Amino acid sequence: MAKLGFLGKFTGFLKKVRLELRKVNWPSKNDLQSYTIVVLITVTVLITFIGIIDLGLSNLITPFIM
């Protein structure tokens, strides 16, 4: 078996990546839109929750600092 140089190894790697990507079960456009909406809503809810907790704690602690 001949030794492969960097270019040969890299080409082999890209071929394997291409084969693996063909095996992937890609989501449909509707599924992708649904997942995106769920993620955006979840992030918005978490940002709001953390913001409210942060605001409450900062108002609770601020009088003790000054």
Q: Confidence class of residue 61 from pLDDT cuts 50, 70 and 90?
A: confident
pLDDT tens for each residue of 33-53 = 999 999 999 999 999 999 999
Query: Could you tell me the residue ranges of all domains in the chain?
Result: 27-66
pLDDT tens for each residue of 4-32 = 788 999 999 999 999 999 999 999 999 99
- Cα–chain-centroid distance for residue 25? 18
pLDDT value of position 39: 98
The whole model's pTM is what?
A: 0.63
Torsion of CA 51, 54, 57, 61, to 10 degrees: -130
Contact 58, 66 (CB under 8 A): no
pLDDT value of position 66: 66
